[in-house]
Amino acid sequence: MAMETIDSFIGGTSSPPLEAQYGEKIDPRTNRPMKRVARSSAKDVDLAVAAAMAAQPAWADLRPLERGRILVGVGRAVRDHAQQLGDIESAETGKPGHEMPGLIDLVAEFFEYFGGVANVLDGELIDQGPNYHVYTQQHPYGVIGVILPWNAPLHQAARAIAPALMAGNGVVAKPSEHTPGSLVALARIAVAAGLPAGLFNVIVGRGRTIGPALVANRAVGKISLTGSVRAGQELGRLAADRVLPLTLELGGKSADIVFEDADLQAAAHGVTRAFTWNSGQWCAAGTRLLVQRSIHDAFVALLVEAVGELRIGPDHDATSGPITTRDQFEKIKEYLSLARTTGLTAAIGGHVAEAPHLGSGLYIEPTVYTGVRNDMRIAREEIFGPVLCVIPFDDETDAVALANDSDYGLSAGIWSRNAGRIHRVARRLEAGRIVVNEYSGGFVQTPCGGFKMSGYGREHGLEALAHYSQTKSVIIRL
C-alpha cells in the first residue's frame, strides 16, 4: 500500500515541489516510515509568496469587520472538522488522542477571538490644534512568513496566522517536515470556509531551505518563528541584512516553584503535568522544580507517586506518548546518560521506556532527578523531553534568585496560598508568563512570549495584533 503524500498548498490548491523531491516522515509510535513529504525549494517559496502578494491587497481593503466575519467562519469550520484535524496531528506527533479535542478547540478559538476583535484595529486622533488634522493608521506588513515547530503544529500556527490575517496580511506558513499534514488540512478547510485563495499558503520542506528563502524574498515583510534558540539565532543573522522584523518564541527552562504553604497534593499533580504534557515537548514546560527545603523530601515522595500513575503508550487514553522525532529521542537519551555520569539520582525513570506494547516506538520514561544544582548542564539546557530537575531553596529571595539564574525566561509557576507572597514573587520573576496554583499554557486572550533568550515579541491577546501591523501617522495642515 502506497504511503500518503503531503504536498504544499499554494494559491488554494495542492502544489507538488517543482524539483520533485520528497522525504519520509517517521511514525513516532512505531519508528517506521508513515508518509511521503515534499521537499520544496526556494522556487516553491517564491510561488507561495507571489500567491500571498496577489491576494493580500484586496483582503487588506476589506472592512475589518468583514475580515473578522470570515475568520470567525474559519473557526467554526475548524470545529466542524475537529476529528479530522485531531486525527492527523495525533498520528504525526504521537500525542494521545484524548488530548486533541482540547487542542483543536483552542485552534478554533484563535480564529474566533481575532475575528471578534476586528474593530480594535482603529487608529487614534491626535489633537494638534485647529490648524491640523492628525491621525494614525495600522498598516499591514503585506506577507508574513510563519515558521513552525513539530511539537504543537496547529496551536502554534493558529496563534500566529489568525492575528496576521486579521491585521490584513497574507501568510506563507512553513510547518516542520516532521508534522506537515495537519497544517495543510487546516489551510484547505480555511479556503473552503471562505478565506480567499492565496491568503493562507503552506510550504512543505526543510527548514534549512525554506527559512533562508523566506528571508531572501523581499515581498516578505515580517517573519514569526517558534523554535529553538539556535533556529532563532540563525534566522536573526539572516534577517539582519534586510532589517527584517521578527517575532521569536524560542526555548525555555522554566522554573516551577513550590512553597511550603502550597496545597502539596494539587501541586504534585500540577508539577507532573507541567513537565510531562506532550512528553515534555513544549517550550514552556516546567522542567526546573524549585522546592522549599522544609518540604523537599515529602513533596518528592508525592511527586514520584503522581508520576508513577502515568500510562506510557500509543493508545488513545495514554497520559504520556512518544517523542515525535528520532533526533529528539536521541538527544534526550544523551541527557539521561549525562545525568548518570554526573552522579544524579533518578527518583523515578531515567531510561528509555521498554515494554511489549511499546514496540520500537520512541518512548522515554518520565524522569525526576533529585540532588540537582542550578549550575549543572542538565538544569541549564533545554532537554525538550519528560525530564524534571529538582532543586531545593530556602526562602523567597533564594527561590527568585534561582528561578532568574537562567538564560531563559518564557514561563514560571508559583504554588502558594499566601497572596502577598504570590504577588511579590510574580513581580520579581523574569519570565513572560507566570501561572499560579496550576501550570498551563494560559489563554488565547493573554499575551505570550519570552524574556532573555526565550525570544521577543508576543503572541495571544490584543498585543499580538500590534506585532502584525505597523503604525503610520498622517499629519494634515488645514
Q: Are the CB atoms for 52 and 171 separated by under 8 Å? A: yes
Q: What pTM, to 2 d.p., does this model score?
A: 0.96
Among 3, 2, 4, 41, CA closest to 20: 41
Same domain, 414 and 470: no
Cell 476529528 belongs to: 83
Question: Rounded to whole angstroms, how far apart are CA atoms 205 and 44?
Answer: 10
How many C-beta atoms lie closer than 10 Å to residue 410's C-beta? 27
Q: Are the CB atoms for 86 and 101 separated by under 8 Å? A: yes
Among 209, 201, 165, 208, CA closest to 184: 201
Burial track 434-463 (b if 16+ CB lie within 10 A, e otherwise): bbbeebebbebeebbbbbbbbbbbbbbbee
Among 201, 213, 150, CA closest to 177: 150
Q: Are the CB atoms for 321 and 276 separated by under 8 Å? A: no
Assigned C-alpha cell, 369? 532527578
Q: Which pLDDT value is given to residue 123?
A: 86
Same domain, 70 and 104: yes
Question: Rounded to whole angstroms, how far apart are CA atoms 117 and 250?
Answer: 27
Same domain, 302 and 169: no
Structural domain that includes position 391: 255-448
Cβ partners under 8 Å of residue 352, min gap 6 = 333, 336, 363, 364, 365
Same domain, 22 and 106: yes
Same domain, 333 and 346: yes
Q: Are the CB atoms for 318 and 284 separated by under 8 Å? A: no
Handedness of CA 67, 69, 71, 74 (dihedral sign): negative
Confidence at 1, pLDDT banded by 50, 70, 90: low
Same domain, 342 and 428: yes
Judged by average pLDDT, the poorest of 105-109, 116-120, 288-292, 444-448 is 116-120
Same domain, 160 and 177: yes
Same domain, 113 and 153: yes
Over 80: is that where the pLDDT of 223 sits?
A: yes
Confidence at 119, pLDDT banded by 50, 70, 90: confident
Same domain, 241 and 94: yes
Same domain, 335 and 372: yes
Over 80: is that where the pLDDT of 381 sits?
A: yes
Same domain, 281 and 378: yes
Same domain, 20 and 37: yes
Tell me what the mean pLDDT of segment 19-42 comes to: 96
Over 80: is that where the pLDDT of 2 sits?
A: no
Tell me what the mean pLDDT of segment 244-259 comes to: 97
Q: Return the CATH number at 369.
A: 3.40.309.10
pLDDT single digits (tens) 408-419:
999 999 999 999
Question: Rounded to whole angstroms, how far apart are CA atoms 179 and 283?
Answer: 17
- In the 3-class helix/strand/coil scheme, how is the chain assigned residue by residue? CCCEEECEEECCEEECCCCCCEEEEEECCCCEEEEEEECCCHHHHHHHHHHHHHHHHHHHHCCHHHHHHHHHHHHHHHHHCHHHHHHHHHHHHCCCHHHHHHHHHHHHHHHHHHHHCHHHHCCCEECCCCCEEEEEEEEECCEEEEECCCCCHHHHHHHHHHHHHHCCCEEEEECCCCCCHHHHHHHHHHHHCCCCCCCEEECCCCHHHHHHHHHHCCCEEEEEEECCHHHHHHHHHHHHCCCCCEEEECCCCCEEEECCCCCHHHHHHHHHHHHHHHHHCCCCCCCEEEEEHHHHHHHHHHHHHHHHCCCECCCCCCCECCCCCHHHHHHHHHHHHHHHHHCCEEEECCCECCCHHHCCCCCECCEEEECCCCCCHHHHCCCCCCEEEEEEECCHHHHHHHHHCCCEECEEEEECCCHHHHHHHHHHCCCCEEEECCCCCCCCCCCECCEECCEECCECHHHHHHCCEEEEEEEEEC
Burial track 358-387 (b if 16+ CB lie within 10 A, e otherwise): beebbbbbbbbbbebebebebbbebbbbbb
pLDDT single digits (tens) 324-367:
999 999 999 999 999 999 999 899 999 999 999 999 999 999 99
Q: Are the CB atoms for 458 and 448 separated by under 8 Å? A: yes
State which amino acid sits at residue 324.
T
Q: Return the CATH number at 100.
A: 3.40.605.10
Q: Would you please indicate which residues are annotated as catalytic (active-site) residues?
A: 151, 249, 283, 459
Among 367, 46, 52, 358, CA closest to 214: 46
Over 70: is that where the pLDDT of 290 sits?
A: yes
Question: Rounded to whole angstroms, how far apart are CA atoms 87 and 323?
Answer: 17
State which amino acid sits at residue 397.
T
Tell me what the mean pLDDT of segment 198-227 comes to: 97
Question: Rounded to whole angstroms, how far apart are CA atoms 10 and 7?
Answer: 10
pLDDT single digits (tens) 423-436:
999 999 999 999 99
State which amino acid sits at residue 454.
S
pLDDT single digits (tens) 147-185:
999 999 999 999 999 999 999 999 999 999 999 999 999
The number of distinct structural domains making up the chain is 2
Q: Which pLDDT value is given to residue 182?
A: 97
Question: Rounded to whole angstroms, how far apart are CA atoms 240 and 277?
Answer: 35
Tell me what the mean pLDDT of segment 119-142 comes to: 92
Question: Would residue 312 be called left, alpha or beta, if left means φ above 0 and alpha means ψ between -120 and 50 degrees?
Answer: beta
Confidence at 311, pLDDT banded by 50, 70, 90: very high
